[in-house]
Chain A
Amino acid sequence: MAGKIVLCRCEDMTLADLEHSVSRGYRDIEEVKRYTGFGTGPCQGKECLAVVALQLARITGQPAAAIPPFTSRPPLAPTPLKVLARDPGAHVFADEGGTARTTRTQGDEVDD
């Protein structure tokens, strides 16, 4: 029995899982992430994004530079709710005596 080559420690995703995903046609890095679950665990890809992306380039026969990273989202590290709750930008609703103000700098509708 061949040992498992673990690419994503958080989610137990293996090289075979990656090959399986590509074989089914899920070969965009975002599709691979969702289909295999890699990068969705507590480390959010810190340990695995680079190695999975390089393996994906190899398996699909593409140059490394052709593989984009998956979208980077906040928070960059797991952050307790109690810390976030203290931010002064939190909107206070009417039932707590707040108003309808927002502190965001809202732009116009952005075309994608």
Chain B
Amino acid sequence: MQPVMDDEEDGARADASGEIRLPATLEASGPLPERAEIVIIGGGVVGLSIAYHLAKRGLEDVVVIERGYLAEGASGRNGGGVRQQWSTEINIRLMQESVELCRRFAVDLGVNVWFRQGGYLFLARNAAEVARLEKNIVLQNRCGVATRMLSPSAAQDIVPELDLTGIVGASYNPTDGILFPWPFLWGYARQAAAMGARIFTQTPVGGLERQSGGGYLVHTPRGAIRARRVINATGAWSPKLAKLVGVDVPTWPIRHEICSSEPLKPFLRPMVSELASGLYCSQSMRGEIVGGVSLPGHASTYAMGSTLEFLATYARRLVRLMPILGDVKILRQWAGPYDQSPDGNPILGAAPEHPDFFLACGFVGHGFMMAPIVGKLYAEWLTGGEPHEIFARYTLARFRDGSGAQQEKEDFNIG
């Protein structure tokens, strides 16, 4: 099926309150259909990416169920970073593909996502950090990613605002970038809906019953829907949903706080990150500096409150790194959940004993940037293609049968 690229209806707007009728992408009211081929629970970027790719591959009767408003979860709360600087080959290669999908998104799906490849600059403050970066660069280069080490003064050429005191080196990959997260959701949702998928918001799932003949009955306040297959795309909330069918998903939420400054004229090209503190910051297409820092003892909670400790820690560290920002003002802070898995690797594929119940979680704060490629790979597999190796590697079963211990651990789950 082909995506819909009609801009004319968007031009048909009237001010002074004309009546505007456009095809709705989201359905916030009304009953659910009685059955579906696949029900994707979770309307975040992973769920919507899967829905889009399934619909594009011609699968009919795809339903997405989102418990709250669109972008309520981590998909609406992240800083929009997209990088290929990883420490494992599988992640590097996946992100290379995802970066390509991000580059093409606006034209393929007809919604601007403002993907800007300004690079990622990681700053090291001691020899051990330099060694870590250098080790990862060898692997990245081998995969065809052009990351290189920079001297402090070369780093300052890219970000003149840096105070180099204490900085001993940096890594830089010019093709890493930043996107604006919300439009990804709108784009995937719009095209998925245009190709027949149905997206229901404000619809929590209260019960999930495995059916004797196969498939599941999904209970919601808007009715029950019979699904041949179910995808658990609820991110940090995956263990709660899986528990409804007795599947134990060993992930837990870690709250990460983040904030944004007032809009400034463009000056900062790359995402800048400092290993010593986990500080990261970048300038969004709106001109705001968006960033965060790693607090010790992150709260393991679903409650996304804000702390003064975060603001103070971030401000202190940021002004130390870029003193010219002292008089720049913070506009807003918020928080989102990282979805932490025991070994730092995601959980994908069907649950053991549940061949039609699929998982897509444990991305530890980089689920957004992975969603374009993971959605595509999932859809290929679920519509009859060969499963990609990630579905064999990142099984839930690995925590039971010990095969996870042999997996490479990703050591660059930062920021």
Contact = CB atoms under 8 A, between A and B. Distances in A.
Interface of A: 2-5, 14-17, 19-20, 23-28, 30-31, 34-35, 40-42, 44, 71, 73-75, 78-95, 100-104, 106-107, 109-112
Contacts of B17: 5, 15-16, 19
B318 interface: yes
B308 to A, nearest CB: 5
Given A23-B22, A30-B69, A78-B329, A91 B15 contact: no
B319 A85 contact: yes
A80 B326 contact: yes
A12 B297 CA distance: 41
Interface in B310-346: 311-319, 325-334
Interface string B14-58: 111111111111111000000000000000000000000000000
Contact of B21 (A15, A23, A71, A81): A23
B315 A75 contact: no
Nearest to B252: A109
B186 A95 contact: no
B383 interface: no
Interface of B: 10, 13-28, 69-72, 76, 125-126, 166, 182, 186, 190, 201-202, 237, 252, 261-263, 276-277, 295-297, 299-303, 306-309, 311-319, 325-334
Most buried by A among B14, B22, B166, B331: B331
Given A28-B202, A44-B332, A91-B296, A81 B13 contact: no
Contacts of B301: 107, 109-110
Given A34-B71, A74-B306, A80 B329 contact: yes
Contacts of B319: 81-82, 85
